Amino acid sequence: MYTKVSDNFGNRIMGDGRTFRARITCDDTVIESGFVSVDMKCIAGTGTSTLEIGCASSTQLDITMIQPDISLTGKEFLLEIGLMLDDDSIEYVKMGYFMAQKPTVDDGRITFTAYDRMAYKMSGYYLSNLLYPCDISEVCAEIETLTGIRMKNAPSGINISKNFDGYTYRQAVGFIAGLTGKFATFDRNGVLDFRWYTTTDYSVGLNRSFDDVVVQENMFQVGYISCAVDENSTIKSGQGLTGIATSNFLMTQEILDGLYAKLKDMSYHPTTCSFAGDMRLELGDIVQVLSRDGKAYPVPVMSLDFSYDGGLITAIGSYGSTELSEATYVSPTENYVQQVYRRLYADKLDAKDAAIKYAQIDFANIGKAALEQFFAKSGLIEDVVVGDQKVTGTLVGVTILGDSIKGGTVIADKLVIKGEDGLYYKLNTDGNTVEKEQTDYNSLDGGVIRAKSITATKIAVDDLVAFGATIGGWHIADGGLYSGAKESMSNTSRGTYLGSDGQINIGDSDNFIMFYVDNKGESHLAISADKFTLGKQNIENVISDIKQDVDNVRDEITTLLRIESSRGTVFKNNAVSTVLSVVIYHGKDRITEIDKLHEVYGSSAYIQWKWQKLDEEEYGIISSADSRMGNDGFSFTLSPDDVDTKVTFMCELITD
């Protein structure tokens, strides 16, 4: 619950006869008047049926206001709602940051929908550069960097075993929230917050609530938590009748058991009500609601609506299914298909550009009056008369008799003449000169023809500027070239994007070649493919061969000399002799005799022993003819007489 308000605010919000104001700040412009209505809705879940974890909640605004002097479409703005205090001053409370969609305009008023940062900053696909497995805190930090948002209450100490390929940033933070038994939402300052339900001292009495308090008779309790991990696996903790069902491909039984131990004591009666508004309430608050029977019920705020029209009404709701529920796992591919389907399936098509090959139109909705209005307004036909089977009238500025145009001179802005084998033109394009007839029968001379569109078998152009054109399936945009629907670097549909800034994206979400620059200005080359062939070899085999060669080289150049003792490395006053043996490891070879030593290192190689007596600073060389030396230096036998107080022995391999 928001608490950064004055005492005067706290007293006035609980009183009668309250007056509110709305305010929008966009860039440096502040709009404080002209608001007709503001409706703000948010839900900590995917619906209003039961308690959920692992959701990423987005807040929606619907605003009707007098059309302002600036355009809000596509711009981020801050919404505040203020309360008029007893001294007629206004104390404003932040409600959040939003981006407006395209408005509808009616008689000087605009109506538009806006969404918070969950919708417009977290909708892109999450292409992680981390090395997995990694800690969940590293994932959160990378999402902050890639999206430019900030987080609070972000988790740590949980191992993430897989990347999030095929999922959006919003879905990723939902999975992260699910692993900690929380939900994700943006707070009033535009910061992504991981929350769970917290008890407050806020209560809604009968004097403030409207006559719509509905309390379910059956209590909901977290008796279990089930989680769909993939298409074939669902894990569960707890055996109660009611509980939480979720889906998370990163969930483990250990994590799920810990979540159930933390949440199993949560219980409440699902309740909905509306009351005299208070903009301090937030998703995740637990408030007390007094029902008509005089009982006080704790209500976790799972849905929260604010309706402003000069006054303010707040509606809250808590939900809980009284039946056993189960979540369904959705793979990255299914998730992508569902998003495409949701975007395409609609009762109404509203698009800037559309290529429609077939359209079925109900002409019963098009009357004669509408046709007459169309032709009259367009200026095509003068004094138009629409009958049951034909349209009659006079074409403005043109006289046509039968199928021919009669007259000594035809004057037109554009003249198209169709020849026997195609199109050719003979035009006076600027009214000053007469161009020669073209010599190539099926060609168009750019110096002669000026048109918005040209249809021809072949066109030769020295310099083409054509933003928005499509050539051979390639779309020419202001930022570069792309094929299919792949109109940006982050688009995961199959195709190719060539940016004018040098960035490239070829392929789809699973198989791709990408060269891109991240938010830090660092360049990346990313390749994902089932097989990668370099020359005539598969790259996996090449890498395997390189690793094997490195291992072989490592074996060949690694040398280790060890001294093995029959009585340990420290001995004193022993009555039995101690034998020190030399073993040399070179790569894969184990050398214990002089012939093998000469074979590997050459005939000049030999073993040299040294010793250091007590209080001496340097080692002395022991002669190879010493009677204690054996096996050409590979063994050295010490008797009790050789050790006085302290003697240190060492051995060297000499190859020069």
Please report the pLDDT score of residue 524 as a whole number.
86
pLDDT digits (tens, 9 = 90+) for 72-112: 999 999 999 999 999 999 999 999 999 999 999 998 899 99
Could you give the CA distance from residue 276 to residue 314 in angstroms, rounded to a whole number? 6
Could you give the CA distance from residue 206 to residue 653 in angstroms, rounded to a whole number? 95
E strand or H helix at 549, and its extent?
helix 539-557
E strand or H helix at 42, and its extent?
strand 35-43
pLDDT digits (tens, 9 = 90+) for 446-473: 555 555 556 666 677 666 666 667 776 7
**Length of the chain measured in residues:** 656
Could you give the CA distance from residue 270 to residue 299 in angstroms, rounded to a whole number? 7
Q: Which domains does the chain have, with CATH numbers?
A: 7-121+191-317 (2.30.300.10), 366-411 (no CATH), 470-528 (no CATH), 557-654 (2.60.40)
Query: pLDDT band at residue 228, thresholds of 50, 70 and 90?
Result: very high
Q: Which amino acid is at 316?
A: I
Could you give the CA distance from residue 627 to residue 636 in angstroms, rounded to a whole number? 9
E strand or H helix at 296, and its extent?
strand 296-300
pTM of full prediction above 0.95 = no
Average pLDDT on 467-487 reads: 79
* Biggest CA pair distance of the chain: 137
- Is the Cβ–Cβ distance between 332 and 175 less than 8 Å? no
Please report the pLDDT score of residue 24 as a whole number.
97
Does 349 score more than 80 pLDDT?
no
Does 400 score more than 60 pLDDT?
no
Task: Of 368-377, 471-480, 532-541, give the range with the top mean pLDDT.
Answer: 471-480
Decide: residue 120, CB within 10 A, 0-12 exposed, 13-18 middle, 19+ buried.
Answer: middle
Decide: residue 210, CB within 10 A, 0-12 exposed, 13-18 middle, 19+ buried.
Answer: exposed
Do the strands 109-116 and 90-100 form a parallel or antiparallel pair, or are they unpaired? antiparallel
Could you give the CA distance from residue 194 to residue 182 in angstroms, rounded to a whole number? 6
Q: How far is CA 349 from CA 344, 354, 355, 396, in A?
A: 9, 9, 12, 34
Long-range contacts of 226-231 (CB under 8 A, 24+ apart): 226/325, 226/326, 226/327, 227/178, 227/251, 227/256, 227/327, 228/326, 228/327, 228/328, 228/329, 229/329, 230/329, 230/331, 231/329, 231/331
pLDDT digits (tens, 9 = 90+) for 113-134: 999 999 999 999 999 999 999 9
Long-range contacts of 404-413 (CB under 8 A, 24+ apart): none
Task: Of 145-154, 354-363, 430-439, give the range with the top mean pLDDT.
Answer: 145-154
Query: pLDDT band at residue 569, thresholds of 50, 70 and 90?
Result: low
Rounded to 10°, the helix 169-179/136-147 angle is: 150
More confident residue, 646 or 382: 646
Q: In 484-619, which ranges are E strands?
A: 495-499, 504-507, 512-517, 523-528, 533-534, 537-538, 559-565, 578-586, 589-591, 606-613
Do the strands 244-247 and 267-268 form a parallel or antiparallel pair, or are they unpaired? unpaired
- Is the Cβ–Cβ distance between 321 and 242 less than 8 Å? yes
Pick from 473, 468, 440: nearest CA to 452: 468
Could you give the CA distance from residue 223 to residue 320 in angstroms, rounded to a whole number? 12
Could you give the CA distance from residue 603 to residue 73 in angstroms, rounded to a whole number? 86
- What is the rounded average pLDDT for all residues in the chain? 82
Question: Residue 651: which residues within 8 A CB-CB, separation 6 or more?
Answer: 561, 563, 580, 582, 607, 608, 609, 610, 633, 636
Please report the pLDDT score of residue 336 as a whole number.
47
